[in-house]
Amino acid sequence: MRKISYNFLFVIGLMLTLGMTSAFGFGNDKNKRPKNTGTLTVKTTPVAYAVKIDGVYKGMSGTDTPAEFYLEPGIHKLEIEFPNGKVYTKDVEIVKDRKNCICLRYIEETLKRPCPYDVSVSAPERVLEGDLITFAAFNSVTGSTTPLNYRWTVSPDTVRVTSGLGTSAITVDTNGMGGQRITAELDVTDDVYGATCFQKNSVPTEVERKPVISANQCDNFESRAFDDDKARFDNCVLQLQGNPDAQLYIIIYQGTDRISMTSNTYDKLSKRTLDYLVKTRGVDPRRISIVKGSSNRLKTSYEIWFVPPGAPLPVPQ
């Protein structure tokens, strides 16, 4: 982060760093976060401060570890109360299954400058691909009433700014930006002191690639007697119980021998399989998909897969 200062009068400054993150299945709070909510985390340094959400006190911010607040999707008003009556306020959008991180740092310093504004810009050092980043600017000059003009430039050019252009904070989307660096540059002027107090600040954020999510094969076998097939299904159902978010994806490959074309056809086995899994094993039918594979095998065969949220579906061979 870069900050420009000039000498003239004493001021006390507040420098804020903040960032927003969100992603489906990437957070580490999925085991304790209520369903159909998003996560707002608030971290302040060097000490904790009071946090209000929609006008209601919700607790203190975190210092070493961010404090977490689980909120319904939508726009929520965030207020963080700093010393000397300073309050940071921002309308924050909460998205289901995405994390929104607000990081703030309070710094008091005595400087001399002729300018009625001294703006710093900050953001998280790194986020995960798919998260949202908020780049924020704050005027550290106490009591300044000078209206400021905020001109943001974001690179690379492919980054999409979702909100905030022309204001003191912008939010950008990191989808498709894994493994790259996003840099926000801010030019600040006013209509009075612009010629002498023009300031330019920039801050980078590294975007880490999202983890690769893939389907896992539970079993692959030729259909014989259906009682034998059921034993293979039972093993996969037991494993499915340990993967509560996964879908059961079953591919049936129609065989070409006599038994496959009469007793073990796709239509017969798909119905038998679904009835057994739902009625006998109690699997939620919404978690089961049965599809037809190619017909280039001698005997009718099964592939059984676990597909976690966000993973691509297996492709029949």
Q: How far is CA 250 from CA 105, 240, 269, 283, 298, in A?
A: 52, 13, 11, 13, 19
Flag whether 92 is in a domain. Answer: yes
Same domain, 225 and 180: no
Question: Is residue 198 in a domain?
Answer: yes
If asked whether residues 66 and 189 sit together in one domain, one would say yes
CATH of the domain at 260: 3.30.1330.60
52 assigned to some structural domain: yes
Type of residue found at 218: C
Determine the 3-state secondary structure of 195 from DSSP: helix
Residue 108 — very low, low, confident or very high, per pLDDT cuts 50/70/90?
Answer: low
Same domain, 20 and 151: yes
Which element (helix H / strand E) includes 10? strand 9-11
Assigned domain for 312 exists: no
Same domain, 143 and 189: yes
Q: Are residues 223 and 185 in the same domain?
A: no
Element (H, E) at 100: strand 99-105
269 by DSSP, 3-state: which? helix
Q: How far apart are CA 200 and CA 276, in angstroms?
A: 67
Check residue 179 and give left, alpha or beta (phi > 0: left; psi -120 to 50: alpha).
left
Q: What is the pLDDT of residue 54?
A: 96
Q: Is residue 16 pLDDT above 60, yes or no? A: no
Q: Which of 160, 186, 208 is the last residue of a domain?
A: 208
174 in the same domain as 229: no
Q: What is the pLDDT of residue 109?
A: 61
The verdict on 187 and 251 lying in the same domain is no
Pair (199, 225) in one structural domain: no
Q: Which residues of 92-105 are buried (b: 16+ CB within 10 A; e: fewer)?
A: bbbbebbbbbbbbb
CA distance 221 to 82: 64
pTM of the model: 0.45
Query: Contact at 8 Å (CB) between 264 and 225?
Result: no
Is residue 222 located within the same domain as residue 301?
yes
- Do 179 and 225 fall within a single domain? no
Judge whether 104 and 88 are in contact, CB under 8 Å.
yes
Average pLDDT over residues 126-149: 88
175 and 105 co-located in one domain: yes
pLDDT digits (tens, 9 = 90+) for 275-293: 999 999 999 999 999 999 9
- Do the domain assignments include residue 3? no
What is the domain extent for residue 47?
9-208
pLDDT band at 110 (very low <50, low <70, confident <90, very high): low
200 and 123 share one domain: yes
Picking from 150, 119, 148, 168, the residue whose alpha carbon sits closest to that of residue 6 is 119
Confidence of residue 7 (pLDDT cuts 50, 70, 90): very low
Give me the percent of the chain exceeding a pLDDT of 70. 88
Last residue of a domain, one of 175, 208, 241: 208
Long-range CB contact pairs, 176-182, < 8 A, 24+: 176/129, 177/129, 177/207, 178/129, 178/207, 178/208, 178/209, 178/210, 179/129, 179/207, 179/208, 179/209, 180/156, 180/207, 181/205, 181/206, 181/207, 182/133, 182/154, 182/155, 182/156, 182/207
- Domain finish residue from 208, 235, 258: 208
Separation CA 101–CA 94 (nearest Å): 11
Residue 196 clears pLDDT 80, i.e. is over it: no
Sequence-distant (≥ 6) Cβ neighbours of residue 204 within 8 angstroms: 123, 181, 182, 183
Which domain CATH number covers 196? 2.60.40.10
Per the structure, how many domains does the chain have? 2
pLDDT, average across residues 36-45: 91
